[in-house]
């Protein structure tokens, strides 16, 4: 009798490097945003402008959060895939699928928020033009 999870293990093993790549790219983007934000704040304060604009104080941390969360969720997925590939228990497969669900849920929420922001911007633009 063959192992019913053998095909799943193969697929997840082949998917693992790509998920890891996306996770690492997400963490690198968080670092890049932190560097960019720090350089921006340093340039503003050294230029004698006085106070850092509120938009700058909010924008970079929010962008860092939006980059960090999916990278972290993908990292959790990588760890769970490794455990499933090594041991092959169905409970571990469920943990992998739950980690992937979290990634897709976060992406879906971001898409909804972006759509709401775009619609609100269009409505405000139309109202301002009247």
How far is C-alpha 105 from the chain's CA centre?
11
How many other CB atoms are found less than 10 A from the CB of residue 33?
Answer: 20
Residue 86 and residue 7: Cα distance in Å, rounded? 14
At 12-25, the pLDDT tens digits run 999 999 999 999 99
At 67-117, the pLDDT tens digits run 999 999 999 999 999 999 999 889 999 999 999 999 999 999 999 999 999
Token representation of residue 110? 């971001």
* Burial category of 52 from C-beta neighbours within 10 Å (exposed 0-12, middle 13-18, buried 19 and up): middle
Predicted structure pTM score = 0.80
Q: CA 12, 14, 15, 20 torsion: positive or negative?
A: positive
């Amino acid at each position: 009798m063959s192992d019913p999870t053998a095909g799943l293990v193969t697929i997840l093993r082949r998917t693992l490097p790509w998920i890891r790549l996306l996770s690492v790219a997400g963490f690198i983007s968080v670092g890049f945003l932190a560097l960019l934000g720090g350089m921006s704040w340093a340039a503003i304060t050294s230029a004698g402008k006085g106070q850092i604009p509120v938009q700058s104080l909010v924008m970079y941390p929010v962008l860092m959060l939006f980059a960090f969360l999916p990278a972290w969720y993908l990292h959790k997925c990588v760890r769970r895939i490794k455990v499933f590939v090594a041991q092959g228990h169905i409970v571990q497969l469920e943990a992998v699928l739950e980690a992937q669900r979290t990634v897709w849920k976060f992406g879906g929420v971001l898409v909804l928020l972006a759509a709401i922001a775009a619609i609100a911007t269009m409505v405000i633009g139309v109202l301002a033009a009247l």
